């Protein structure tokens, strides 16, 4: 676990996202939950030994940020209203408990027993929701929860002014491959500007090491590189199927490697990115024409 502010910590090396916590005078506030059951249970034990966990705030609906919620059944979960609406759909997309158990036997055998622990619900969606923003006051800390669409539609940023830190979820991938499989690229670029305007010293990205504001430009450039590439396909009338017949070298648009041992997803991810951006550009053109 890494100290990233006076009273805040992030775990950078778990399999999954960078789950984080702020230790306030009135207990812990968590940002996202550890993906692997054993990591989630260890985290919970570490915190509960010191103080109660007041809130668990999710930044997005992907499994690497929400699957571990199951192991915090008594904690108030906070999330965007659209995250609440799609939560169970994304949990279901992660596979059945049977499928998870088979995967876990190979990937993380220590976690197998935790999959069918009767105390843990499979799905633990947000109960406290918001639309534009929500401010919580916990102990002496202000927790500003902001809707920053981009990587996903309910994408959420958590800004803690007293700590000088912002938790961006996957609107920032620091020096590891950016996932654009369902993003709104234009909203994403706007959200990066909004993050840049915050008074912060440290950014905790969804994945990768903590970074500073200087990296935001690079992140925006990666989104723009992909957008430019698909824009050119649209101009030339090339469909995603035609473009994807030949292998696309993702490193031409994003210099960073796929982290988290996810290399096997390289080609699939590029396909999803091209299809998503192509559809969004076409939809935009159509909306402009009508």
Residues near Zn ion (CB under 5 A)? 17, 64, 170, 206
Cβ-based nearer residue to Zn ion, 161 or 175:
175
For the bound state, the minimum distance from the C-beta of residue 170 to Zn ion, rounded and expressed in Å, comes to: 4
Residue 202: HSE in the Cβ half-sphere, 13 Å Cα cutoff = 18
For the bound state, the minimum distance from the C-beta of residue 190 to Zn ion, rounded and expressed in Å, comes to: 20
**Rg (the chain; Cα; Å):** 19
For the bound state, the minimum distance from the C-beta of residue 245 to Zn ion, rounded and expressed in Å, comes to: 29
Give bridge partners of residue 57 from the DSSP assignment. 31, 78
| Residue the block writes with tokens 């993003």 | 183
Cβ-based nearer residue to Zn ion, 68 or 240:
68
Judged by DSSP in three states, 130 sits in strand
Cβ-based nearer residue to Zn ion, 176 or 274:
176
Segment holding 170, helix H or strand E:
strand 165-173
Cβ-based nearer residue to Zn ion, 68 or 206:
206
Between CA 32 and CA 43 the distance in angstroms is: 12
Residue 201 Cα distances to 3, 8, 71, 223, angstroms: 13, 13, 31, 23
Phi-psi region of 208 (alpha: psi -120 to 50; beta: other; left: phi over 0): left
Cβ-based nearer residue to Zn ion, 11 or 170:
170
Residue 136 Cα distances to 72, 149, 152, 165, 276, angstroms: 19, 20, 23, 15, 35
Between CA 12 and CA 108 the distance in angstroms is: 18
For the bound state, the minimum distance from the C-beta of residue 81 to Zn ion, rounded and expressed in Å, comes to: 20
Cβ-based nearer residue to Zn ion, 64 or 163:
64
For the bound state, the minimum distance from the C-beta of residue 59 to Zn ion, rounded and expressed in Å, comes to: 8
Cβ-based nearer residue to Zn ion, 24 or 168:
168
For the bound state, the minimum distance from the C-beta of residue 206 to Zn ion, rounded and expressed in Å, comes to: 5
For the bound state, the minimum distance from the C-beta of residue 271 to Zn ion, rounded and expressed in Å, comes to: 19
Asked whether the beta carbons of 208 and 176 are under 8 A apart, the reply is: yes
Residue 5: HSE in the Cβ half-sphere, 13 Å Cα cutoff = 25
């Amino acid at each position: 676990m890494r100290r990233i502010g006076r009273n805040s910590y992030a775990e950078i090396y778990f399999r999954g996202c960078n789950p984080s916590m702020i230790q306030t005078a009135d207990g812990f506030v968590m940002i996202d939950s550890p993906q692997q059951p054993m990591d989630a249970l260890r985290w919970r034990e570490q915190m509960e030994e010191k103080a109660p966990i007041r809130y668990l705030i999710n930044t997005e609906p992907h499994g690497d940020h929400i699957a571990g919620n199951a192991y915090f059944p008594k904690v108030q979960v906070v999330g965007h209203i659209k995250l609440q609406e799609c939560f169970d759909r994304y949990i279901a997309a992660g596979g059945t408990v049977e499928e998870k158990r088979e995967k876990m036997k190979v990937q993380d055998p220590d976690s197998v027993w935790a999959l069918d622990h009767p105390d843990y619900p499979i799905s633990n969606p947000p109960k406290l929701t918001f639309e534009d923003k929500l401010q919580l006051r916990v102990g002496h800390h202000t927790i500003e929860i902001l809707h920053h669409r981009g990587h996903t539609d309910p994408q959420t940023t958590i800004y803690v002014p007293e700590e000088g830190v912002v938790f961006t979820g996957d609107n920032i991938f620091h020096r590891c491959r950016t996932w654009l499989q369902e993003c709104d690229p234009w909203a994403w670029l706007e959200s990066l500007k909004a993050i840049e305007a915050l008074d912060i010293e440290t950014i905790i990205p969804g994945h990768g090491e903590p970074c500073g504001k200087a990296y935001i430009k690079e992140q925006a450039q990666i989104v723009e590189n992909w957008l430019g590439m698909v824009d050119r396909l649209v101009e030339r009338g090339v469909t995603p199927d035609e473009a994807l017949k030949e292998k696309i070298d993702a490193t031409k648009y994003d210099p960073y490697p796929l982290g988290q041992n996810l290399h096997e997803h390289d080609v699939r991810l590029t396909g999803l990115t091209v299809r998503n951006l192509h559809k969004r550009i076409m939809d935009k053109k159509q909306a402009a024409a009508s």
